[in-house]
Amino acid sequence: MRALGYANAAFDLLKRSAIPPYPQFYELLYTYATGVNPSLNNRINAIFRSGISPSSDLAEALYNEFLKSDMNDRMSSVSERMHARIESVHEAIDAAMTTANAYSGSLQSAAGDLERDLGGPAMKALATRLLTETRRMQDTNRELERKLEASRDDITALQRDLDDVRRESMLDPLTKIANRKSFDEGLADAIAEARRDGTPLCLMLVDIDHFKSFNDTYGHQTGDQVLRLVAMTLKSNIKGKDLAARYGGEEFVAVLPSTDLKGAIIVAENIRKAIQAKELLKRSTNEKLGRITASFGVASFKPTDNATALIERADQCLYAAKHAGRNRVVSEAELIEIAEVSDKDVSAA
The kind and range of the H/E element at 204 are strand 201-208
Cα gap 306→329, rounded to integer Å: 23
**Which residue(s) pair with 287 in the sheet?**
282
Q: Are 229 and 282 in contact (CB under 8 A)?
A: no
- Reduced to 3 states, what is the DSSP secondary structure of residue 291? strand
Q: What is the rounded (10 degree) CA torsion for 111, 113, 117, 118?
A: -120
DSSP three-state, residue 95? helix
How far CA 17 is from CA of 26, 46, 129, in Å, comes to 12, 15, 79
Q: At what angle do helices 220-236 and 211-218 cross, to 10 degrees?
A: 140
Residues 6+ apart with CB under 8 A from 4: none
- Known catalytic residues? 250
